[in-house]
Structure 1
Amino acid sequence: MARVTIQDVARAAEVSPSTVSNFLNNRSERMVAATRERIERAIAELGYRPNRAARQLRNGRSQTMGLVVPSVGNPFWGAFAREVEVAALEMGCNVLLCNSERDPDRERRYVEELWEDGVRGIILCTSLPSLEHVGHVIKEGLRLVTFDRPAQPNDPASVVSISIDNNVGGQIATSHLLELGHTKIAFVSGSIRSVNRSARYRGYCDALEAAGLSPDDMPVWAGTDATRFGDVEAAQVGRNAAHELFREGADAPTAVVAINDMTALGFCRGLRDLGLEVGVDVSVIGFDDIILADLYDPPLTSVRQPISQMAKLAVAEAVDPGANGSNEPGRSVLLRPELVVRESTQSK
């Protein structure tokens, strides 16, 4: 069936297309009631829906924004997507969600397709070191907000970055375990080549060095495939790590800092496979404070990200630049994470 056009509505209502356009764009204050009623009746009878992309091109405003996350297979990203949607709806904006699996080609394709569909503001949840793969769209005028990735030296000048201080997050997680008396602390992750993960690892190393311990003496497990980030299979990454670090004859740690909560929960499952008790035999701390962290038994100690606040900041920049009180392009907002102590970490 052919799409109903504004011309079809005009013919049915016996008015000009410009009159229908004025009605659709809330410029009908001088229109007589009978004309408005005919247009409303024609729209209802024909089932007319405005061409949103065309309207956006005419008035320079987008009613839809894009959100590209690594994978909602990780509950953190599902929770963040929900917060983004809530914030966007409050600003009268819809959200198109894409899962990139941290693949730069996939990120590029999604950004290009969203741009071609008339989307002018995108939150890109990437922690890749470079934005070169989407630079050509930014040059065309895309409002790009990166999430969970602080501004990098070679970023385009217009890009806004919203993130927590991942280095501080790594430090407070590790310092908590040190304060509990642990001196053999492992770091467990998928690939740590990304900006945010390498920052968490640096924070882990900084805390160890501040306590007079050498990171080189600590077990670091980054998966059997150093190119995979493990967003979808994070729990299995953690489970595999537990089996490897506590294999027979290994110099096993007494505590573990995991790159995120799903990896931490998988690690806890792996410990149980081996007959070890979380929080008693081994202390485990995660990162993100997803809803499952508090529901697990024992409840998981975690580093919390203020995702509601971060989502509101990111949406405001993607939909209405400068809404956060600054018209400066290329600014970087870095928030402090919070340690949430539960029963998975206890004194050595």
Structure 2
Amino acid sequence: MGDRVTIQEVAAAAGVSASSVSNLLNGRTGKMVPATRERIERAIADLGYRPNRAARQLRSGRTQTLGLVVPSVGNPFWGAFAREVEVAALELGCNVLLCNSERDAARERRYVEELWEDGIRSIILCTSLPSLDHVADVIEDGLRLVTFDRPAQPNDPASVISISIDNNVGGQIATSHLLGLGHDKIAFVSGSIRSVNRAARYRGYCDAIEAAGMSVTDMPSWTGFGAEQFGDVEAAQVGRAAAHALLAPDADRPTAIVAVNDMTALGFCRGARDMGLVVGEDVSVIGFDGIILAELYDPPLTSVRQPIGEMARLAVGEAVQAGARSDGAGRSVLLRPEIVVRESTRPPHSTATSRADVPTGGSR
């Protein structure tokens, strides 16, 4: 790849001044005649000129473009979050560049490097990986990093800003809801739990089981959560496979399951239907995230909801404002999730009252 084309070269090719090119790039074209504008635009296209974002941000004194790295918009939660980030960024006059990392450290590193080299100095990284060592040198060089869905970890660089819900509490809320309905055989269903947030949700599940005087080892188990894949794209397939294993005729069937996220829960519901079972009657299912599909599914899915609108605004605000703080200090924000109760969770057959006596909606 050759040297970057300069604004002076564009100006020379178009037969105009560098200030005229700058005016076009910054939208100051009110007094520019059409012929001049056409020459500049043709020169930009012919030379393959790309504006230097870093230089433009230094001149303007503010971040104009934010990087957003999510695991995969194949999970509707991340698509919804990306949209909320874009809305919040546009309100502050910023643009967003979106990347999908599949929670792979090497891909996260490559995207962070490319965004940095393109002049983007603030990135929202939705990683959940236990360590940030793979991007530590870029942070040291001055990258303003906001991690999302990942609470601060002991070895994080001091400048990192963390925005997350309390996933441990979320796991406890989900499990306690099922315990309160009378379930005593509750399984946890997930892909890999090597990520910080998933491990915390599983710990919350374990804490609630033990607080109720029961043992996690006595619960029906789904060993699929020890697999290497995280299941952001394959989450529904993971849930469906879990249903086929846990609900098999010769299995120690759970009366309820806690799924690591809504897509895994919805896959489990599909698997239960494959087995001829009715979700909410034969088995209760609770998800995590609060995606729109949870409300639209039949039966509507009970879910632990994340306040993604509020979290997106916080993440964008921190990414933009971090550049204005001279001390470079980071901070951690931990929000509390809430449960939205719908028809997928009901008392088990042995303790069930009539269907009409069981709450079917609302949040608490």
Q: Name the TM-score, length of structure 1 as normaliser.
A: 0.89
Say if 2:68 and 2:99, in contact at 8 Å, map to a contact too. Answer: yes
2:247 maps to 1:253: no
Say if 1:191 and 1:222, in contact at 8 Å, map to a contact too. Answer: no
Say if 1:67 and 1:124, in contact at 8 Å, map to a contact too. Answer: yes
2:113 maps to 1:112: yes
Within-5 A mapping of 1:1-348: 5=7, 9=11, 17=18, 37-38=31-32, 42-47=36-41, 51-53=51-53, 54-59=55-60, 61-223=62-224, 226-321=227-322, 329-348=329-348
Cα distance, 1:201 vs. partner? 0.6
One-letter code aligned to 1:213: M
Cα distance, 1:209 vs. partner? 1.2
Say if 2:62 and 2:323, in contact at 8 Å, map to a contact too. Answer: no
One-letter code aligned to 1:46: I
Provide the C-alpha distance between the structure 1 equivalents of 2:24 and 2:283, rounded to a whole number of angstroms. 67
Provide the C-alpha distance between the structure 2 equivalents of 1:24 and 1:117, rounded to a whole number of angstroms. 16
Provide the C-alpha distance between the structure 1 equivalents of 2:225 and 2:21, rounded to a whole number of angstroms. 62
Cα distance, 1:71 vs. partner? 0.6
Cα distance, 1:179 vs. partner? 0.6
Say if 1:173 and 1:303, in contact at 8 Å, map to a contact too. Answer: yes
Say if 1:10 and 1:20, in contact at 8 Å, map to a contact too. Answer: no
One-letter code aligned to 2:291: I
Provide the C-alpha distance between the structure 1 equivalents of 2:265 and 2:302, rounded to a whole number of angstroms. 10
Say if 1:261 and 1:286, in contact at 8 Å, map to a contact too. Answer: yes
Deviates more, 1:59-68 or 1:3-12: 3-12
Cα distance, 1:247 vs. partner? 1.8
Provide the C-alpha distance between the structure 2 equivalents of 1:20 and 1:293, rounded to a whole number of angstroms. 50
Query: Who is 2:354 aligned against?
Result: none
Cα distance, 1:58 vs. partner? 4.5
Deviates more, 1:311-320 or 1:283-292: 311-320
Q: 1:271 to 1:24 in 2, by over 3 A?
A: closer
Provide the C-alpha distance between the structure 1 equivalents of 2:270 and 2:30, rounded to a whole number of angstroms. 64
What SS does structure 2 have at the residue aligned with 1:345? coil
Say if 2:260 and 2:287, in contact at 8 Å, map to a contact too. Answer: yes
Provide the C-alpha distance between the structure 1 equivalents of 2:22 and 2:225, rounded to a whole number of angstroms. 60
Cα distance, 1:17 vs. partner? 3.7
Say if 1:71 and 1:232, in contact at 8 Å, map to a contact too. Answer: yes
Q: 1:233 to 1:20 in 2, by over 3 A?
A: closer
Deviates more, 1:224-233 or 1:204-213: 224-233
Say if 1:62 and 1:118, in contact at 8 Å, map to a contact too. Answer: no
What SS does structure 2 have at the residue aligned with 1:113? helix
One-letter code aligned to 2:336: R
What SS does structure 2 have at the residue aligned with 1:321? helix
Provide the C-alpha distance between the structure 2 equivalents of 1:76 and 1:130, rounded to a whole number of angstroms. 23
Q: 1:116 to 1:290 in 2, by over 3 A?
A: same
Q: 1:222 to 1:108 in 2, by over 3 A?
A: farther
Say if 1:255 and 1:284, in contact at 8 Å, map to a contact too. Answer: yes
Q: 1:183 to 1:137 in 2, by over 3 A?
A: same
Q: How many residues align?
A: 338
Q: 1:222 to 1:124 in 2, by over 3 A?
A: farther
Cα distance, 1:221 vs. partner? 1.8
One-letter code aligned to 2:151: P
Deviates more, 1:192-201 or 1:325-334: 325-334
Q: 1:301 to 1:9 in 2, by over 3 A?
A: same
Say if 1:9 and 1:39, in contact at 8 Å, map to a contact too. Answer: no
Query: Which runs of 5 or more residues in structure 2 are unaligned?
Result: 45-49, 349-364
Provide the C-alpha distance between the structure 1 equivalents of 2:186 and 2:221, rounded to a whole number of angstroms. 9
What SS does structure 1 have at the residue aligned with 2:322? coil
Cα distance, 1:161 vs. partner? 0.2
Provide the C-alpha distance between the structure 2 equivalents of 1:229 and 1:284, rounded to a whole number of angstroms. 20
Query: Who is 1:32 aligned against?
Result: none
Query: Which runs of 5 or more residues in structure 1 are unaligned?
Result: 29-34
Provide the C-alpha distance between the structure 1 equivalents of 2:187 and 2:337, rounded to a whole number of angstroms. 21
Identity fraction in percent: 73
Provide the C-alpha distance between the structure 1 equivalents of 2:340 and 2:115, rounded to a whole number of angstroms. 37
Provide the C-alpha distance between the structure 2 equivalents of 1:251 and 1:337, rounded to a whole number of angstroms. 31
Q: 1:326 to 1:317 in 2, by over 3 A?
A: farther
Give the RMSD, CA atoms, in angstroms.
2.8
